[in-house]
Amino acid sequence: MDKSKLIKTINQKGLRNSLISIYYNSGRALPFRAQRFPDGRVSDWYRSQFVEVHEVKPGGKGGKYGYAYGFYFRNGERADATENNPEQSWCKMSDTEPQGIPCAACGSWVLLDILGEATAEPTKIYGVNDVLEIGKHKGKTLAEVIRSDWGWVKWAKENAEHIFFDMDEVMEERNKSIKPLHSEDVLTYGKYKGQSIKEIAGFDINYLRWLSANNDDFVFDFKELS
């Protein structure tokens, strides 16, 4: 499997990944590099650091929890985890053996790179022609579900622990079913159902703007109204 595609797919789960889940989904490949809070929502300082994981010891029910061991990096170089205070660091720049990584089983991790080879099958990535093997739509092709239940696809992409999609294929298929609307077209849903885009723009254009931002089925070029 293409490594960049696998990394991109694993990171679909946003900040729900733990180091343990990354380990499993990558095919138990070691070492790998991961970063916590890459969006800087706790502190921009987090953007400068990552860990290199060399060992994972899963634990708990289904192996969802456990421990990970590795080394700490800042600005791309080995460093003391507590800047300017090596004695308080969970990992020191001088450590030669992997150290226990704090919050390994917590969320908010993203995969940066896979350095080692997989020792198991990586997570399955569903293409549009694949038949879903688990979940609400088990037995249907992904293409069928994209057309019939787009809301579920969006939910599963970020929340279903064991379901991963080839999002390039998904969006290509999704775009086939989206019909662009024009000023004379009539809405078939919503509070102004039965009225044309042009009519609605005359008294509530903000509703059209809201609909455009919040409804994946609504595609309209507002320049047509100018």
**Which of 114, 138, 162 is a domain's end point?**
114
pLDDT tens figures, 60-72: 876 788 999 999 9
Asked if residue 70 belongs to a domain, the reply is yes
* Claim to verify: residue 34 and residue 105 sit in the same structural domain: yes
Asked if residue 7 belongs to a domain, the reply is yes
Q: pLDDT category, 169, cuts 50, 70, 90?
A: very high
Q: pLDDT category, 51, cuts 50, 70, 90?
A: very high
Which of 58-67, 149-158, 159-168 shows the lowest per-residue confidence on average (mean pLDDT)? 58-67
Q: pLDDT category, 187, cuts 50, 70, 90?
A: confident
Domain extent for 153: 125-176
Shortest CA distance to 226 belongs to which of 194, 198, 192?
Answer: 198
**Which of 152, 176, 200 is a domain's end point?**
176
CA–CA separation, 43 and 40 (whole Å)? 5
Asked if residue 168 belongs to a domain, the reply is yes
Percent of the chain residues topping a pLDDT of 90: 60
Asked if residue 120 belongs to a domain, the reply is no
CA atoms within 13 A on the CB side of 221: 6
- Total count of domains within the chain: 3
Shortest CA distance to 61 belongs to which of 105, 23, 28, 102?
Answer: 105
Residue 111 has pLDDT above 80, yes or no: yes
Which of 43-47, 74-78, 131-135 shows the lowest per-residue confidence on average (mean pLDDT)? 43-47
* Claim to verify: residue 23 and residue 63 sit in the same structural domain: yes
DSSP string, the chain: --HHHHHHHHGGGGGG--HHHHHHHTTS-SSEEEEESTT-SS-GGGGGEEEEEEEEEEESGGG-EEEEEEEEEETTEE--SSTT-GGG-SS-TT--S-EEPTTTTSS-EEEEEE-S--SSPPPPEE-TTSBP-SSTTTTSBHHHHHHH-HHHHHHHHHH-TT-EE-HHHHHHHHHHTPPPB-TT-B--SSTTTTSBHHHHHHHHHHHHHHHHHH-TT--B-GGGG-
**Which of 114, 133, 158 is a domain's end point?**
114
Distances 208 to 50, 56, 168, 194 between C-alpha atoms, Å:
43, 50, 28, 14
* Claim to verify: residue 138 and residue 74 sit in the same structural domain: no
* Claim to verify: residue 133 and residue 198 sit in the same structural domain: no
> 204: which 2 tokens?
């509530």
Q: What's the pLDDT score for residue 40?
A: 67
Asked if residue 134 belongs to a domain, the reply is yes
Residue 146 has pLDDT above 80, yes or no: yes
Helix axes 150-159, 167-176, angle to 10 degrees: 170
* Claim to verify: residue 107 and residue 145 sit in the same structural domain: no
More confident of the two residues 16 and 216 = 16
> 172: which 2 tokens?
């290509």
Asked if residue 119 belongs to a domain, the reply is no
Mean pLDDT on 2-9: 95
pLDDT tens figures, 71-91: 999 999 999 999 888 889 999
